Chains A and B, each alone.
Chain A
Amino acid sequence: SQQGEEDPQALSIQEGENATMNCSYKTSINNLQWYRQNSGRGLVHLILIRSNEREKHSGRLRVTLDTSKKSSSLLITASRAADTASYFCATDPKGGNEKLTFGTGTRLTIIP
């Protein structure tokens, strides 16, 4: 079953602009993770936010989590062509990683 649903499904922006992607989920979580996937390749972990955290930063990435709304957002600032990829949120209900559930992803295209 799909736990996370990303919005929008696809996003195109100019290089240098900020990109925001949203993730909604259905059940309670221990943590939420964001991954990036370049076309046809394996996923790469970007950032993890715990259920008791509201915001987290890593370089040009900013993640927020609102557990009352069961939603998260990923902001990429000052986008670059290399950021072109699909982005997935993944929810971990218990914290042990054994039942990580991925959303359907947002396809981000950065226009040079």
Chain B
Amino acid sequence: EAQVTQNPRYLITVTGKKLTVTCSQNMNHEYMSWYRQDPGLGLRQIYYSMNVEVTDKGDVPEGYKVSRKEKRNFPLILESPSPNQTSLYFCASTVWGAYNEQFFGPGTRLTVL
């Protein structure tokens, strides 16, 4: 089944404790992206990647890191999480190029205390 998977689905952590949210897709998509969703703000893009070893900042990259060492994986790293990073996070992937839909993962609900 074609899908985007994220782990963990739920995470409660404390300020300053490094964490990684994994994202993996099995559709051989070149493009992958991370979004955060907050009430009243919709989805905002954090980082995206056009292909292996190619990443770029989205609209809200502060406090996050990403890497793209393999085509299928695009982990989101929070080196020192803070309470304002409490949010619902989504990973998405697509075939790079025009007029293509994005496929979304199920989401990771992160709470930073």
Interface residues of A (CB under 8 A from B): 1-2, 4, 30-31, 33, 35, 40-45, 48, 50, 88, 92, 95-105
A residues near B41, Cβ cutoff 8 Å: 2, 104
Q: Does B2 contact A (CB under 8 A)?
A: no
> Are B100 and A97 in contact, CB atoms less than 8 angstroms apart?
yes
Selected from A43, A95, A104, A105, the residue in CB contact (under 8 A) with B99 is A95
B residues near A2, Cβ cutoff 8 Å: 41-42
Q: Does B22 contact A (CB under 8 A)?
A: no
Interface flags for B99-111 (1: CB within 8 Å of A; 0: not) read 1111111110100
Point out which of B31, B50, B99, B103 has the most chain A C-beta atoms below 10 A from its C-beta: B99
**CB-based nearest B residue for A92:** B98
Give complex CA distance A98, B33 in Å: 8
Interface flags for B1-38 (1: CB within 8 Å of A; 0: not) read 00010000000000000000000000000010101000
> Are A98 and B106 in contact, CB atoms less than 8 angstroms apart?
no
